Amino acid sequence: MHKSFRFYVQLGLTLLVCAFLIIPIILSMLAGITDNFFIGWSSGFTTRWIVQVWDTYQVTIWRSIAIALACLVVTTLVGVPLAYMLARHKGGNSRLARAIEELLMMPVAVPGLATALALIMAYGQYREFRSSLLFILVGHVMFTLPFMVRPVLAVMQSAQLPVLEEAAASLGAGPLQRFFGIVIPNVFSGILAGALMVVTLSIGEFNITWMLHTPLTMTLPVGLADSYASMRLEVGSAYTLIFFLMIIPLLIAMQWVTHTTRSRVRL
């Protein structure tokens, strides 16, 4: 009886915390389809704010998707071989491996504004580069690379890759054959988990992008801030609604992949 009461108390507290976090998001999304938020829902519901956002900021949405996909390609091409190197270098326990891991985490630990300022100080004098999407892409790659390396490295360290590679080598497989035929298939779940994190973080990244963008390279989160600052609340809320419709499926997929990966590791 005591255990049952404690369970319901914990459940109630959990639901209260979830409600505290979710209700403001729901209200913000509902404001995006309300005709006049200051009057309330009695003013009726409409999709004209969503249409206005799409007409005004459509380019920022496609730009964010393009940057996120480019960031995914770069972090995959760089992060997977880097994780492989860390896993093979004495199981990732050497000083060099630990130093590289610490360096990878620096852009995450350092505030995004500081990272962006460092990039501007280092490369801001190159005008064509400074005003291009590549400049933002560099910042996003620096920020998201650890989120590709860490999941892949974790799977590599738990997949007994040295044993599998040794068996493949004894059958005459070369380094490239072992990497693409043994390593990649066995760590695919880690790569997929890292890919979802990279895309999600890149689409929603604001601090670095806000410092690095120009009026011609505005992305979705920067456009969201701009819509709240310069237009009606309903427009900004409609932009938020579009943002969540893009992000929520990725978050659900990320949770599913993480759960599947953990289940396979336990087995």
- Domain membership flag for residue 24: no
Length in residues, the chain: 267
pLDDT in tens, 235-248: 888 888 888 888 78
Predicted pLDDT of residue 92: 46
pLDDT in tens, 95-129: 777 777 777 777 777 888 888 888 999 888 888 88
- Domain membership flag for residue 46: no
- Domain membership flag for residue 1: no
Given pLDDT bands bounded at 50, 70 and 90, which one contains residue 9?
Answer: confident
| Phi/psi-derived region of residue 91, left when phi > 0, alpha when psi is between -120 and 50, beta in every other case | left
CA 139 – CA 54 distance, rounded (Å): 26
Higher-confidence residue: 51 or 159? 51
Kindly report the average pLDDT of the chain as a whole number. Answer: 82
Tell whether the model's pLDDT for residue 78 goes beyond 90.
yes
Average pLDDT estimate for 26-38: 82
In percent, how much of the chain has pLDDT > 90?
13
Question: DSSP assignment, residue 87?
Answer: H
- Domain membership flag for residue 202: yes
55 neighbors 46 (Cβ within 8 angstroms): no
**Structural domain total, the chain:** 1
Higher-confidence residue: 65 or 261? 65
Predicted pLDDT of residue 60: 87
- Domain range for 85 is 58-266
Q: Which amino acid is at 20?
A: F
Cα–Cα distance list, 164 to 57, 186, 192, 260 (Å): 50, 10, 21, 22
- Domain membership flag for residue 8: no
Higher-confidence residue: 267 or 145? 145
Given pLDDT bands bounded at 50, 70 and 90, which one contains residue 1?
Answer: very low
Specify the 3-state DSSP secondary structure of 47. coil
Cα–Cα distance list, 2 to 8, 10, 13, 140, 193 (Å): 10, 12, 17, 51, 40
- Domain membership flag for residue 33: no
Predicted pLDDT of residue 55: 83
- Domain membership flag for residue 95: yes
Q: Compute how many other C-beta atoms are within 10 angstroms of the C-beta atom of residue 114.
A: 13
CA 32 – CA 54 distance, rounded (Å): 12
- Domain membership flag for residue 44: no
pLDDT in tens, 165-183: 777 777 777 777 878 887 8
CATH for 246: 1.10.3720.10
Measured between alpha carbons, how far apart are the two ends of the chain, in Å? 35
Predicted pLDDT of residue 101: 73
Which parts of the chain fold into alpha helices (H)?
2-31, 48-88, 95-109, 112-123, 127-130, 133-158, 161-170, 175-178, 184-186, 188-204, 207-212, 220-230, 233-266
